[in-house]
Amino acid sequence: MKKILIGLAVIIALVVGALVYVYVNLDNIVKSTIEEAGTRVTLADVAVEGVSIEPTQNTAAINGLVVGNPDGFNTDYAFSLGNISVRLDGSTLTSDTIRIIEVVVDQPSVIYELGNGSSNIATIQRNVEAFVQRVSGPTGAGGADGATSGDDAAGGTKIIIDNVYVRNGDVGVSAGFLQGKKLSASLPEIHLTDVGKEEGGATPAQVAGEILTAINTAVFKAVSSLNVDGLLQGVGDLGKGVVGAVGGVASGGGTKIKEGTDALGGAVKGLFGGSSE
């Protein structure tokens, strides 16, 4: 009997020790999870400066989350998301679907790099969409490829977000044909509601895809308002020879690009998907 009690005491001590370890290291565990899962989903390096979890307040803060570029792009990053604050409904934390009351992304910075017939942001969005499709399968029930690598993303806890705010952001545009010149603009405020609600809950990857789509649309709107004429004056005669190159990477593919400043401006905007819709 004494040996049994000793054995039980050891097991209890291990469980308590594990719980204490998780609680004390919760911030680092979440940080590592974001970095590892984010890199797997986006196929770009994801790094987080710090995470602060307040379990009793049902809040979290994520600082310095940076999403690098996929292969083939050279700018410092695609997204630097500044400060992210999250407020959860604590009563749902043990359920299959967690309700997040609010996510606020403050002072994000986006660098839209044009190249390889596309852009870094569009490439990341395609990577996320491909991951979701791979782990969900054609019917959403789980694909063969996702059976081992995507179980957590496909069949784990789902999320519903009441409100997502992206505020005080900026977007810069980089491309080889700009010869070091940079287009920049303020990112319009983004407000999404009821993310994942229609589906009864969405996976984190699906949520990321929806938010990326909204950011892509906002970036296009910002770029559409830029003074491309002024940029061309800055690069001088480059505008005369670059039209053909732009035509090769514009999303319209076979669209004939007119000569002159207006045509180049339209082509640059075409790189962002051709429409904000």
Digit-coded pLDDT (tens) for 143-152: 544 444 444 4
Question: Residue 152's domain spans which residues?
Answer: 2-222
* Cα gap 100→88, rounded to integer Å: 4
Selection from 10-24, 48-62, 124-138 with the highest mean pLDDT: 48-62
pLDDT given at position 69: 92
Of residues 4 and 35, which shows the higher confidence score? 35
Of residues 7 and 166, which shows the higher confidence score? 166
Instruction: Choose the final residue of a domain: 222, 243, 258.
Output: 222
One domain, residues 53 and 91? yes
- Over the chain, what is the mean pLDDT? 73
248-272 per-residue burial string, b: 16 or more CB within 10 A, e: under 16 = ebbbeeeeebeeebebbbbbbbbbb
Q: What is the pTM of this model?
A: 0.70
One domain, residues 133 and 181? yes
One domain, residues 249 and 267? yes
One domain, residues 100 and 169? yes
One domain, residues 214 and 263? no
Q: Is the pLDDT of residue 9 over 70?
A: no
Those residues with Cβ within 8 angstroms of residue 235's Cβ, 6 or more apart along the chain or in another chain: 178, 179, 181
Distances in whole angstroms, Cα of residue 229 to Cα of each of 111, 184, 196: 21, 14, 41
Q: What's the number of domains the chain is made of?
A: 2
One domain, residues 59 and 144? yes
Cβ neighbours, 10 Å, residue 42: 24
One domain, residues 140 and 16? yes
One domain, residues 153 and 247? no
pLDDT given at position 8: 56
One domain, residues 213 and 238? no
* Cα gap 277→271, rounded to integer Å: 14
- Rounded to a whole number of angstroms, the CA Rg of the chain reads 23
pLDDT given at position 21: 58
Cβ neighbours, 10 Å, residue 230: 10
Model confidence at 153, pLDDT cuts 50, 70, 90, reads very low
One domain, residues 134 and 268? no
Full DSSP string of 188-233? PPEEEEEETTTTTSB-HHHHHHHHHHHHHHHHHHHHHTS-HHHHHH
Instruction: Choose the final residue of a domain: 179, 206, 222.
Output: 222
Distances in whole angstroms, Cα of residue 110 to Cα of each of 42, 219, 261: 15, 8, 25
